[in-house]
Amino acid sequence: MKTFFIEARFKGKIELPDGLISTLPEKVALFTTVQYLGSLDDIKKKLEEKGKKVLLLKAEHTAYHGQLLGCSIREFKENFDALLYVGDGLFHPKALMLKNNKPVFVFDPLSRQFLKLSENSIAEMKRKSKASLSKFMHSKEIGVLISTKPGQNQTKKAFELEKKYADKNFYFLMFDTIDFAELENFPFIECFVNTACPRIAYDEAEKIRKAVVNVDDLF
């Protein structure tokens, strides 16, 4: 089935508060989601007028520099002091903090609130990840969740698990949109490996009722 994606853009004007800008270090990597991309150049210009050096980096599976997709956040090797995320919600900035050992600042253009993420804000995500990894290591029967969605499909990496962990039995479950209730049909599975959006292992793990580890944590 062919799919046509239409970008929905925020029509308002985004003005970064001076209080936020003054707290930022000299060199920042600036990110947002597709809704706010139309304001990215103006945000970058204002930051540069205030003496900041701004990087617009390219994440995997994205169409634009500075754009983030939750399923493709990675560690960025470029030279910068902090990350600035402009957008609503905290999943994207928390994922940035998990993958990058750098401070993360957040500005919500809807509420106009800004904050600097603390280690405590991702402590629960780290705890879940560590517990799930331990469960995987001690399990024999492993279910592997594979999405057919563009940008989320990691079939090749999923099948590499058999070579890397030859002592385990893997069962590959492929879907477009996951129905968590259907996983109850595989009661023998002890632990799941998620190769789709990493949000599944963090925000939706309670729907699965068994440990879920993201595939990138296994390589």
Could you tell me which residue, 163 or 152, shows the higher pLDDT? 163
Matching fold, domains 18-117 and 124-218? yes
Q: Computed from CA positions of residues 166, 169, 175, 177, in that sequence, does the dihedral angle turn out positive or negative? A: negative
CATH of 18-117, one of 3.40.50.11850, 3.20.20.70, 3.40.50.300, 2.40.30.10: 3.40.50.11850
Report DSSP letters for 19-47, one per residue. HHHHHS-SEEEEEE-GGGGGGHHHHHHHH
The pLDDT score that the predictor gives to residue 1 is 64
- Mean of the per-residue pLDDT values of the chain: 92
Does residue 214 register a pLDDT over 70?
Answer: yes
pLDDT at 181 over 90: yes
Residue that wins the pLDDT comparison between 205 and 174? 174
pLDDT tens digit sequence for 73-99? 788 999 999 999 999 988 899 989 988
Q: What is the CATH number of domain 124-218?
A: 3.40.50.11860
- Is residue 165 within 8 Å of 178, Cβ to Cβ? no
Residues 44 and 70: beta-carbon distance below 8 Å: no
State the CB neighbour count (10 A cutoff) for residue 165.
Answer: 16
Tally the residues of the chain.
Answer: 219
Per-domain boundaries in the chain: 18-117, 124-218
In angstroms, the Cα distances linking 26 to 30, 91, 97, 102 are 12, 25, 18, 13
pTM above 0.85, yes or no: no
Which pLDDT tens digit goes with each residue over 107-128? 999 999 999 999 888 898 889 8
Q: Output the pLDDT for position 201.
A: 87
